[in-house]
Chains A and B, each alone.
Chain A
Amino acid sequence: MQKKLYNKNVVIAGLIILAVLATFPFWYNHGKAAPAPKPELTEKAKAAKECIRPTAYMKTEHMQLLDVWRDTVVRDGIRTYVNEAGKEFDMSLSNTCLDCHSNKEKFCDVCHEYASVDPYCWDCHIENPKENE
């Protein structure tokens, strides 16, 4: 017993269009992967050689670090961070982090855009204490 496909042409054409549309993002963007961004360091950051913690740690954990900072500063009023080398830092995004990394666009934003994250820190915290002076 043979089954008949009604409106064969339309159905098959429709299926092909569907397949093309569904896979469109894949083949359209094929081979066009954005290269991993390279955040630029300012002269001051280069001169300092090391951030408050090792670079690998800062790359992966800076958001957790900042989260702990904000709670500790706001809630407990504790504002001095002592790293493993015994060096002290004021726990402040604007006054400590962005003092060195005063190139937000080329340091912070390049990775955040690449990773498609949208931190709202700069809604309030002044993004570039140096450049605005």
Chain B
Amino acid sequence: MESSRRRFLKVAGISALGAGSIGAKPVLNAFAATGGGHGEEKPVIKMVPNKESLMGTRWAMVIDTRKLTSAGDLEPMIEACHKVHNVPKLENKNHEIKWLWEEEFKHAFPGKINRYIEDEAIAHRPFLVLCNHCENPPCVQACPTKATFQREDGIVMMDFHRCIGCRFCMAACPFGARSFNFRDPKPFIEEAELNKKFPTRCKGVVEKCNFCAERLAVGQMPACVDASKGAMAFGDLDDPESEVRKLIRENFTIRRKQNLGTMPSVYYIV
């Protein structure tokens, strides 16, 4: 018994050494390859943010509804947004895709409705609504694949590559800001309207406003803000000198469904 164990350990030890001497070389080579130290051999590849990119830690939007009194005032912004992002125009209400759209006060702010508010202009004023890019986004918690996520600058983004179209996020969003592609959207984008710089979506994914993340990356303001002639402002809430903070400081602002605690980042001056 004892001698056989002894023999077994001897053989095992020798074969481990043998295997080691054969196996060790590639292992060492692999270490050398990953360990660096050969600057001139290994190409230096870097991925960096765009130089002109706008940086922020808490992007937000302020919409001055006093300057937007009719549906016609909202049209250029909606048009600009939907054009730049290849949002299809589907006539069927059930299939409609919306990034930025018009809503009545009573629907946009259901908790803030007063009985006799009908007398005032505000009740009939069209409100521009979009994804609120909540600080505490329920859609992100609901998403089972992390296709929707919150960036470090506060933007709630969609990764269409990962979206499986389960629509939990649509159920979770209290603002109806998300649309599902029931049909392939491509035939519903006019050829002449197509923005070739931006991808379209495919059938079976959920989409919504992305706060123009692709425009911020090249130093531009969101498309709707650019088209609003000063009725909308965009900036960083964490920067006390930003335009949005200034507007919030100087005006009375409301946000949608604040009582739900999602902390929307879109403020309305009323």
Give me the interface of A with B, judged by CB distance under 8 Å. Answer: 53, 70, 72, 74-75, 77-84, 90-91, 94-95, 120, 123-126, 129, 132-133
Contacts and interface: CB of A to CB of B under 8 A. Distances in A.
Contact of B199 (A78, A83, A94): A94
B157 A84 contact: no
A83 B45 contact: yes
A81 B45 CA distance: 8
A124 B49 contact: no
B159 interface: yes
Given A75-B159, A95-B197, A133-B196, A81 B153 contact: no
Contact of B202 (A74, A78, A123): A123
Given A75-B149, A124-B201, A129 B46 contact: no
B6 interface: no
Contacts of B199: 94, 124-126
A132 B202 contact: no
B47 A84 contact: no
B176 to A, nearest CB: 24
Contact of B45 (A75, A84, A126): A84
A79 B200 contact: no
Interface in B192-208: 194, 196-197, 199-202
A13 B153 CA distance: 74
Nearest to B191: A132
A124 B149 contact: no
Contact of B53 (A75, A79, A84, A132): A79
Given A72-B47, A77-B49, A91-B47, 15 more contacts: A74-B161, A75-B149, A77-B53, A77-B153, A77-B213, A79-B53, A79-B217, A80-B49, A82-B44, A82-B47, A120-B202, A124-B160, A124-B201, A126-B196, A129-B196
Contacts of B49: 77-80
B230 interface: no
A53 B45 CA distance: 10
Interface string B148-186: 010101000101110000000000000000000000000
Nearest to B216: A77
Interface of B: 43-51, 53, 149, 151, 153, 157, 159-161, 191, 194, 196-197, 199-202, 213, 217
Contacts of A80: 47-51
Contacts of B47: 72, 78, 80-82, 91
B227 to A, nearest CB: 23
Q: Which of A75, A77, A78, A84 is packed against the most chain B CB atoms within 10 Å?
A: A77
B206 to A, nearest CB: 14
Contacts of B200: 124, 126
Listed from nearest, the 6 A-B pairs whose CB atoms lie closest are: A84-B43, A82-B46, A129-B196, A123-B202, A124-B199, A125-B199
Contact of A94 (B50, B53, B197): B197
Nearest to B217: A79
Nearest to A98: B196
A70 B48 CA distance: 14
A82 B157 contact: no
Given A74-B157, A124-B201, A132 B48 contact: no
Contacts of B151: 77
B204 to A, nearest CB: 10
A81 to B, nearest CB: 6
Contacts of A94: 196-197, 199
B45 A132 contact: no
A35 to B, nearest CB: 33
A84 B155 CA distance: 32
Contact of A82 (B48, B202, B213, B217): B48
A90 B200 CA distance: 19
